[in-house]
A and B are shown apart, each in its own frame.
Chain A
Amino acid sequence: MELFANLAHGFVVAFSPINLLMCLIGALVGTLVGVLPGIGTIATVAMLLPITFGLPPVGALIMLAGIYYGAQYGGSTTSILVNIPGEATSVVTALDGHQMAKQGRAGPALAIAAIGSFFAGCVATVLIAVLGAPLTKLALAFGPAEYFSLMVLGLIFAVVLAKGSVLKAIAMIVFGLLLSMVGSDIETGASRMAFNIPELADGLGFATVAMGVFGFAEIIRNLDHGAEMDRNLVQQKITGLMPTRKDLIDSSPAILRGTVLGSILGILPGGGAVIASFAAYTLEKKLAKNPSRFGRGAIEGVAAPESANNAAAQTSFIPLLTLGIPPNAVMALMVGAMTIHGIVPGPQVMQKQPDLVWGMIASMWIGNLMLIIINLPLVGIWVRLLRVPYRLMFPSIVVFCAIGIYSVNNAPVDVVLAGAFGLVGYWLIKHDFEPAPLLLGMVLGPLMEENLRRALLISRGDWSVFLSRPLSAVLLAIAAGLLVLAVLPTLRAKRDEVFVESEG
């Protein structure tokens, strides 16, 4: 019954007025920014990271978690109403959601998205609480060799599940690893690739790179299309938010399946929310008696991916909280935030700072409840926000990001660096390199180096240690197997098929 004691403790922390307020503000602001078309979850979290710096650690992380869910929910709202998915996870939602909106059923579509997300959120919260403690014990059995192999596996997962070329995704990860080497060496203190620039002595700021590659680069790229993006906003007034009894009956099995699928994919390193929503949509289409309804406003096509991506979003906290390994780019940002507050994520956090961990877990549930309560009545406001023209929005975002980056260290150099990474990110997008693996590599870089060094030191320089320790060998074998599967032509075709779905 330790589980319930822990959860109860978490709820006590999360229900303190100040943390409730943080959760509410996070969810609101996250939705507000997430609704803006063209700004994805990662960009939202990166942009809003600085506003949490002044808060106490527990409040800051609760708020960040709120921002994350809010941004995701905001993305679904945009894709249903305007058919511009703000982020990759809601691409599939747009397929049927926007069709429903065109048929005047935007209300039920939004409501089902919210209900599905809430249900998935409840299940995932319990799952985190259940799996947290045993996984932490497992983590304590991990030596440096196992940690290193696990991170390799995580990175390979990220590559296999990413869209586009496997080779380019690996190149991006290694680029990220290389970027993380800038700064002082942990063991010897030697300055590496810093060119005697004092601001680089501590390494490249994670928030700086993220804001550049995701924030500024997105803005520059959007400007390519001309400031006026195509917006077929649903004009009719949204009436009748509540879904009918038939809607509920149709969508409940889809929500259930989406939740299960999402929870599993979220735990896997590299999996994350994107693949979960794609997989859930494909599954529903395969199971449906009449698959031709999909793409024409089938409510299951909204319910399943929305539940799946929310479940995955939450269960992806599991590897972060128990092993200290971020499974995707958003979690990588969370690590950045924790580090700024002086918290090193990993198994020790669970034991040393139960307030933080369980408070955050409980606040996830509360956050989901808040989303359902605040967002449905606020749909009207979000719609009005969508009418703000991009020509006014983009300079505002530029200025807001610039102030945000400056406020992290009060360093003007950081702002220039972010701008430079914005151009790098623009170049990467133009050459079809995905920036998300880069970010993941950058966060995992120092961890990987440290564990690699330690493992080799313990084994007296013998590289076979990674294969002679059984757990490590298994992890590496899975990684190798996945990589082989990913480059096999048959699976590649399947994988591309899943992603093509979004353009169909």
Chain B
Amino acid sequence: MSDTPSEAPVKSILPKWVRGPQDFVGGLAMMAVALFALWASSDLQGMHGFSFGAGTAPRMFAVLLLLLGGAVALMGILKDGPHIAAYSWRGPLFVSAAIVFFALAIRPLGLVVSAFAAFLIAAMGSHETKWVEAIIVGACLTVGCALLFPYVLGLPMPMFPRFLIQ
């Protein structure tokens, strides 16, 4: 399977009267964010007298976003616009996986292991990766970062797996 986006069949899901699917879905998503924010800030104190409570500004901005999202969605109905661009799965998946792996591994496994492994996971995001080359570059980058961050920049972080040190 190639990871270059092809014409997606997404448009078939939306009814015909949606003339600009990209704006329509984008606007709806913004409305969803706004509703979520309204719900999340509903337990906060509102106006008391003429002074703002903790929840006043968040709710104000959320309502504003709700209206704007609605307007963007409306534009998607009224005006012809581009279709939703196709997403590829490979890049986002492996790049995210590399990031999450790094986050989980940095504390227990240290910089050297997690940086090198994260490099290789991210490299899977492209089908053009040549593994020998990737391993060499990954190793060099790991060494470089292991010298740069803790020593040159003085930002302390664990270097090696915990179980090896103890």
Contact = CB atoms under 8 A, between A and B. Distances in A.
Interface of A: 50-51, 53-54, 165, 167-168, 170-171, 174-175, 177-178, 181, 185, 187-188, 190, 192-193, 195, 216, 219-221, 223-228, 389-392, 394-396, 398-400, 402-403, 406-407, 410, 412-413, 415-416, 418-419, 422-423, 426-427, 430-433, 445, 449, 452-453, 456-457, 460-462
Contacts of A175: 30, 33, 65
Given A181-B41, A453-B52, A171 B153 contact: no
A326 B119 CA distance: 35
Nearest to B39: A193
A192 B145 contact: no
Contacts of B119: 395-396, 398-399
Contacts of A165: 23, 72, 75
Given A412-B103, A413-B103, A430 B87 contact: yes
B134 A395 contact: yes
Given A190-B45, A226-B3, A185 B87 contact: no
Contacts of B137: 392, 395-396
Given A223-B95, A395-B122, A433-B26, A195 B40 contact: yes
Interface string B141-157: 11001001100011111
Given A395-B122, A407-B157, 15 more contacts: A50-B153, A168-B26, A188-B54, A190-B54, A226-B128, A394-B125, A402-B118, A403-B149, A412-B103, A413-B103, A419-B96, A430-B85, A431-B84, A453-B51, A460-B50
A284 B57 CA distance: 46
Interface string B9-37: 00000000000001101110110011001
A384 to B, nearest CB: 15
Contacts of A412: 103-104, 106-107
Contact of A399 (B34, B98, B103, B125): B98
Nearest to B75: A167
Contacts of B145: 399-400, 403
Contact of A54 (B26, B64, B71, B154): B154
A415 B156 CA distance: 16
Interface string B115-135: 100111011011111100110
B78 to A, nearest CB: 12
Contact of B4 (A51, A188, A226, A426): A226
A216 B95 CA distance: 8
Contacts, number: 224
Contacts of B141: 396, 399-400
A462 B49 CA distance: 11
B96 to A, nearest CB: 5
Contacts of B142: 399
A229 B123 CA distance: 16
Contacts of A190: 44-45, 54
11 contacts: A192-B54, A193-B41, A389-B128, A391-B128, A399-B115, A407-B155, A415-B106, A416-B103, A426-B92, A445-B61, A462-B50
Interface size class of B (residues with CB under 8 A): 35 or more
A218 to B, nearest CB: 11
Contacts of B68: 167, 170-171, 174
Contacts of B27: 171
A56 to B, nearest CB: 12
A418 B129 CA distance: 24
A198 to B, nearest CB: 15
Contacts of A432: 22-23, 26, 82
A416 B96 CA distance: 8
Contact of A188 (B30, B45, B130): B45
A399 B54 contact: no
A54 B87 contact: no
B54 to A, nearest CB: 4
A418 B99 contact: yes
A431 B29 contact: yes
A149 B148 CA distance: 44
Contacts of B69: 171
B138 interface: yes
Given A50-B155, A54-B154, A178-B65, A224 B91 contact: yes
A390 B65 CA distance: 37
A181 B95 contact: no
A423 B51 contact: no
Contacts of B57: 181, 449, 452-453
